[in-house]
């Protein structure tokens, strides 16, 4: 039975708890007395409780995040009622700020705020030696990354085979965007590069194919970025996949010359565009060269096989619906394979709250603390934007309507066309979940022909090609009616074409 149990509630099974592995790796001599066990937010609470209590630990270290704060609070409440003798130690970004007002903090014995890699081990040594610190809130000192034991040996073979493997070559962010927790980090710190690459090579040797780098600014330090990219180029193998978070307007020639050497589908760049509105960007302390951003997107789309996942935030202070619509259309014209439309969240500790009064910012009191209304966006506007984001996922990010979408909004604003479509869908369905592709295709055809006035005989062949692109040989009745003699030729054409990726280009 372990004396120390490290646990958390992941959002989904494929997501490994990266923070737990850091804590476990840095326990030193206590590692032999510790165990890691992971659950998900969808697991039955009593089963989670039973699994924890049956191990009879003395100390529980629980990772708390925006996605698990509510079930984690219920778990700690039940645990302290059943076994008040077990010391519960919380950590993670959700309990690192504004701690006094949180029910889960009141229930727990200790809370470590900040980077707890080393502080958790120190606390455990005291507790196991019989010493109970008097301060409940323990503010962790920022560790020197040279002193932090890397966690990669503690990914299991099952993790490597079936789950997302998170890695990081650096911590911190030099920017001060007020909606982001990284705005509170000290300047970027780099892990010792040689030791990091040795650890990554071990993962490769164990069969790891996909690496998700969580560095907030992977391309900030070109020397380190080049070394990592060259490392993977030298070890290129079928199935390799690398995900990086990138600063959108920084892509020097020294990185470009390496990026172009990667085959298609190996590199995915998550690029936080967030807003194209200069006044809004200045208001939230965000620095971004939009012209250079556009040049970088053109380079990536025209000269590389990089898959671009771009983020755009709705509901920022001062950003109107027209502003957001213009930004969406501008981003779409740059042709990223994915655009994630997200609504602003008020993360604990972020300085975005300074705009609450002047911009009349109202947020949900429950996680994930999404914006409900602003001075320039009503609750109804933001509700429609949530639905718009869902429709965009169904139509744009799904890759199921590659040819259809550009024709749908031909010579019109993509945003406002999809805005009309979103309202029309909602009036017809009242929901945006559980819609089969067959039904979705029929609805798109009906909207295009009855609401936008598209010619059915022109629109139907493209829509049918999209519908059958993934390997289907059937066709919705409405398309068969318009294509009585083209179903088989389209099917034959599909067999001779390479299968499209899930996130094919929309424009």
In terms of C-beta density within 10 A (0-12 exposed, 13-18 middle, 19 or more buried), how is residue 455 classed? exposed
Task: For 233-360, list the strands marked E by DSSP.
Answer: 241-246, 267-274, 307-314, 338-343
Contact 284, 316 (CB under 8 A): yes
- Under the banding of pLDDT at 50, 70 and 90, the label for residue 186 is low
In terms of C-beta density within 10 A (0-12 exposed, 13-18 middle, 19 or more buried), how is residue 506 classed? buried
Is 491's pLDDT higher than 60? Answer: no
Summary mean pLDDT of the chain? 93
pLDDT at residue 485, as a whole number: 54
pLDDT at residue 431, as a whole number: 81
Q: Element (H or E) spanning 39, and its range?
A: strand 34-40
Is 493's pLDDT higher than 60? Answer: no
d(CA 36, CA 382): 40
Is 2's pLDDT higher than 50? Answer: yes
Is 403's pLDDT higher than 50? Answer: yes
d(CA 349, CA 369): 12
Contact 62, 88 (CB under 8 A): yes
d(CA 434, CA 423): 18
Residue ranges and CATH numbers for the domains of the chain are 4-142 (3.40.50.280), 165-377 (3.80.30.20), 401-507 (no CATH)
The model scores a pTM over 0.85: yes
pLDDT at residue 468, as a whole number: 93
Is 484's pLDDT higher than 80? Answer: no
């Amino acid at each position: 039975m372990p004396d120390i149990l490290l646990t958390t509630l992941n959002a989904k099974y494929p997501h490994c708890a990266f923070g737990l592995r850091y804590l476990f790796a840095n326990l030193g001599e206590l590692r032999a007395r510790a165990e890691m066990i992971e659950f998900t937010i969808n697991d039955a609470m009593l089963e989670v409780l039973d699994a924890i209590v049956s191990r009879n630990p003395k100390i529980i270290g629980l990772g708390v995040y925006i996605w698990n704060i509510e079930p984690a609070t219920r778990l700690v409440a039940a645990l302290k009622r059943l076994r008040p003798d077990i010391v519960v130690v919380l950590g993670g970004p959700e309990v690192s700020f504004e701690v006094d007002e949180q029910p889960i903090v009141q229930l727990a014995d200790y809370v470590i705020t900040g980077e707890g890699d080393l502080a958790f081990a120190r606390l455990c040594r005291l507790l196991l030696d019989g010493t109970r610190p008097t301060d409940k809130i323990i503010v962790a000192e920022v560790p020197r990354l040279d002193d932090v034991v890397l966690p990669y040996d503690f990914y299991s073979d099952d993790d490597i085979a079936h789950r997302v493997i998170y890695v990081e070559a650096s911590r911190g962010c030099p920017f001060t965007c007020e909606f982001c927790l990284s705005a509170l980090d000290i300047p970027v710190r780099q892990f010792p590069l040689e030791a990091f690459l040795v650890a990554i090579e071990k993962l490769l040797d164990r069969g790891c194919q996909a690496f998700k780098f969580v560095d907030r600014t992977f391309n900030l330090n070109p020397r380190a970025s080049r070394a990592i990219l060259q490392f993977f180029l030298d070890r290129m193998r079928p199935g390799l996949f690398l995900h990086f978070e990138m600063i959108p307007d920084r892509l020097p020639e020294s990185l470009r010359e390496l990026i172009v050497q990667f085959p298609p589908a190996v590199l995915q760049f998550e690029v936080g565009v967030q807003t194209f509105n200069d006044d809004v960007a200045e208001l939230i302390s965000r620095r971004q060269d939009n012209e250079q951003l556009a040049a970088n997107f053109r380079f990536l789309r025209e000269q590389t096989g990089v898959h671009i996942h771009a983020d755009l935030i709705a509901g920022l202070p001062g950003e109107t619906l027209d502003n957001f619509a213009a930004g969406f259309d501008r981003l779409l014209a740059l042709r990223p394979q994915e655009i994630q439309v997200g609504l602003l969240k008020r993360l604990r500790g972020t300085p975005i709250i300074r705009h609450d009064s002047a911009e009349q910012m109202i947020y949900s009191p429950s996680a994930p603390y999404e914006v409900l209304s602003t001075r320039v966006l009503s609750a109804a506007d933001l509700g429609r934007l949530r639905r718009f984001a869902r429709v965009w996922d169904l139509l744009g990010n799904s890759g199921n309507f590659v040819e259809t979408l550009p024709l749908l909004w031909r010579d019109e604003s993509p945003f406002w066309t999809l805005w009309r479509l979103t309202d029309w869908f909602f009036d017809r369905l009242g929901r945006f979940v559980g819609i089969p592709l067959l039904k979705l295709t029929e609805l798109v055809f009906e909207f295009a022909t009855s609401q936008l006035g598209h010619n059915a005989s022109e629109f139907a062949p493209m829509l049918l090609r999209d519908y059958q692109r993934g390997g289907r040989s059937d066709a919705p009745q409405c398309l068969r009616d318009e294509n009585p003699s083209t179903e088989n030729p389209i099917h034959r054409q599909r067999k001779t074409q390479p299968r499209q990726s899930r996130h094919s280009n929309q424009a």
